[in-house]
Amino acid sequence: MDPLLELPEPVKARIKAREAEAEDQFNRVKEACEQDMANARSQWGGYFDLHREQLTDAIEEARACIEAAVGISAQYVFVAHATEYRQFLRDPSKLKPILAILRDPSLRITENR
C-alpha cells in the first residue's frame, strides 16, 4: 500500500528504524519459540505414546507465543506510525481524506505471515 501522506525523510527514517526494531524482536521471539518446539520434539518425540500430552502442550505453548509476538510487533509498529503522524500532522481536519481512504473496503489488509 502506498503511503497515505508524504512524510519528510527524517520521519520516514524514524518509522523505518522502529519497523526494523519490531522485525528484529519478532524474529528473536520466533526463533526462541521454534527452539522450544524443537526441544520438546527431541525430549518427548521418541516416546510419543507416553508423552503425547506434554509434547502437544509444549508445541501449542510455543505457537501461542509466536501468535502473541505477531500482535505485539504489529502494535509497536502501529504506535510508531501513529506517533510520527501525530507529530507531523497537527491539524486533524487534514486527516479526513486519509480516513476516507482507510474506510474503503477494497483496501482491507490480509495477514501475510
Has residue 88 got a pLDDT over 60?
Answer: yes
In a domain? residue 113:
no
- Per-residue pLDDT, 1: 44
The predicted-structure confidence for 1-24, as pLDDT tens digits, reads as follows 455 678 889 988 998 999 999 999
Q: Residue 76 is which amino acid?
A: Y
Q: Is the pLDDT of residue 109 over 80?
A: no
| Nearest of 45, 38, 37, 43 to residue 61 by alpha carbon | 37
Rounded distance between C-alpha atoms, residue 18 and residue 75, angstroms = 11
**Does a structural domain hold residue 89?**
yes
Answer whether residue 1 is part of any domain: no
Average pLDDT over residues 72-76: 91
| Residues 16, 11: Cα–Cα separation, whole Å | 9
Domain for residue 31, yes or no?
Answer: yes
Give the count of alpha carbons within 13 A of 71, CB side only.
6
Distance CA 76, CA 56 (A): 30
Judge whether residue 29 has pLDDT over 80. yes
In a domain, 35, yes or no: yes
Residue-averaged pLDDT of the chain: 81
Total domains present in the chain: 1
54: domain range?
Answer: 9-105
User: What pLDDT sits at residue 49?
Assistant: 67
In a domain, 66, yes or no: yes
Residue 15: name the closest of 96, 91, 85, 99 by CA: 85
The CB-side HSE value for 56 (13 A sphere, CA atoms) comes to 6
- Is the pTM value of this prediction over 0.95? no
Read off the pLDDT of residues 43-69 as tens digits, 9 standing for 90 and up. Answer: 877 666 677 788 888 889 988 999 999
